[in-house]
Chain A
Amino acid sequence: MSDCQEVIQQLWEYLDGELPDGEAAEIRLHLSECAHCNPQYEFQLGLLEALVKAYAAREVPQPEFVRRLKAALDVIGNDLT
């Protein structure tokens, strides 16, 4: 069974979905029972959620640019066909 130090070491990989199912399940179980690790988990998860939220309405390509790009791709694409 995982101890706290191991869990903290693997927490980013757990949050990133990079751990094999068995290891992820162990960490999930540990987190459900451990008051010590939970603030760490909450803090790391909070950062990831805040990053996504901070950039939710960020730069998108301008419609005119998209139109020009697609036209250029069509020219090259038609030559390839």
Chain B
Amino acid sequence: MTGPGSSPHTAFQAVALPHLDAVYRYAYALARDRSLAEDLTQDTFLQALRHWDQFTPGTNARAWLFTICRNLFLRQRERRAREEPTEAATLDGLTADAQAFAAPSDGGRALFDAPELGDVIRRELDKLPAEYREVVELSDLQDQSYADIAQVLGVPLGTVKSRLFRGRRMLQEALVDYARDAGLLPPPGSDE
């Protein structure tokens, strides 16, 4: 990966820096605030450069940076709010029912053609519990594989799948509720 005569800094610039936008977006997804996202991104890249010798050339640099970013975020959050309980423990152990959600008979075309859909999706994704939102972000917006997400989050592959499928299911349910309220889909029971 590093050619003869090239420094760690040069290799870092070539391999890590191209992921700056993605890391910033991930930091923003975690922190939900521009200034915090900038701090988090900066800390991520500074730490990554200092520990560049721990990166294995040829592996997924973006996932490696996400891992650093998330660890920093969790440490900062812990420091800020030790007393805030998280519901992480109750969110694991999800079952296969998370995978199946009865789709509208037309595949939801009217819903997906609605011009306001982007606003609705962003609002509903924001409402997801953090444990689900982050896997949806990593998979669907950052294009990371299940294995890479498991590495970033430090959880088993099965947990990634169950959280991802459950998170998407929640989004599907919310979108269908929205579509029914907006008259884009018929009420339950009338279209089957």
Question: A residues within 8 Å of B by Cβ?
Answer: 8-9, 11-13, 16, 18, 38-44, 46-55, 58-62, 65-66, 68-70, 72-74, 76-78, 80-81
Contacts and interface: CB of A to CB of B under 8 A. Distances in A.
Please provide the 9 A-B residue pairs with the shortest distance between their CB atoms, ordered closest to farther: A42-B107, A77-B9, A43-B103, A54-B118, A54-B121, A46-B112, A61-B24, A39-B107, A81-B7
A51 B107 contact: no
B104 interface: yes
Contacts of A66: 20
Given A59-B25, A76-B49, A50 B118 contact: yes
Contacts of A68: 42
Interface in B6-55: 7-9, 12-13, 17, 20-21, 24-25, 28, 34, 37-38, 41-42, 45-46, 49-50, 52
Contacts of A50: 112, 117-118, 121
22 contacts: A9-B96, A9-B99, A12-B165, A12-B168, A40-B102, A40-B107, A42-B109, A43-B103, A46-B107, A47-B168, A47-B171, A51-B136, A51-B171, A54-B118, A54-B121, A59-B24, A72-B46, A73-B12, A73-B17, A74-B9, A81-B7, A81-B8
B146 interface: yes
Interface residues on B, range: 35 or more
B159 to A, nearest CB: 15
Given A8-B100, A58-B25, A43 B9 contact: no
A8 B97 CA distance: 11
A60 B21 contact: yes
Contacts of B121: 50-51, 54
B139 interface: yes
Contacts of B106: 39
A9, A43, A58, A66 interface centre (most CB from chain B within 10 Å): A43
A12 B8 CA distance: 39
Contacts of A54: 117-119, 121-122, 125
Contacts of B21: 60-61
Nearest to B44: A69
